[in-house]
Homo-oligomer: A and B are copies of this chain.
Amino acid sequence: MESKTTYKVFRFENEVCWKSGLHGTSCAPGKPDLEISNPPEFKGEGNAWSAEEMFVGSVNACTFMTFLAYARHKSLPLVSYESDADGVLDHTEGKWRFTEITLRPHIRVKSKEDIEAARTIIEDAHADCFITHSLSLPVKIFPEIRVA
């Protein structure tokens, strides 16, 4: 007999509203509003989040949140997690698009014995990141794991 898992479908919402010039507000249900504008590269003033930063940030956040969930599940004693990310926007095959995102998580654990577990967890989190699965570009990860 065949066993089949049934999965739920999730839906995430957003609203943007124009304020003036190249400025607006980005809203998610029940969350503080986020001021957004064009980045300075594209005539914005650079004091509010750009769509490009939200995009790169969403990949960094998804990998991070997946790591936290898996670390909790495996009872990994985590001391700190910081991750630098950058995304390259390039003009290729006639279109502007992101062509690569790089994540550099710096993970601190309590003891030497936890290093390998942390490495497995960050690799799994990277492989399972929902948002990375939704992109047409490679996401590279270079984890650096040390004892605090």
Residues of chain A in range 12-50 having any CB-CB distance to chain B below 8 Å? 12-18, 21-22, 24, 26, 28, 30-32, 34-39, 41-44, 46-50
- Judge whether A65 is part of the interface by a CB distance below 8 angstroms: yes
Chain B residues with CB under 8 Å of A86's CB are 11-14
- Judge whether A147 is part of the interface by a CB distance below 8 angstroms: no
- Judge whether A57 is part of the interface by a CB distance below 8 angstroms: yes
Q: How many copies does the complex hold?
A: 2
Contact B135–A135 (Cβ < 8 Å) = yes
- Judge whether A1 is part of the interface by a CB distance below 8 angstroms: no
Contact A82–B9 (Cβ < 8 Å) = no
- Bound-state CA distance A98–B9 (Å) is 10
Contact B14–A81 (Cβ < 8 Å) = no
A91-B7, A97-B133, A136-B135 are contacts. A14–B53 as well, Cβ < 8 Å?
A: yes
A34-B34, A97-B133, A133-B97 are contacts. A12–B39 as well, Cβ < 8 Å?
A: yes
Contact B98–A56 (Cβ < 8 Å) = no
Nearest CB in chain B to that of A64: its residue = B16
Most buried by B among A39, A65, A87: A65
Q: Which residues of A contact B (CB under 8 A)?
A: 7, 9-18, 21-22, 24, 26, 28, 30-32, 34-39, 41-44, 46-62, 64-65, 68-69, 72, 78, 80-91, 95-98, 128, 130-131, 133-137
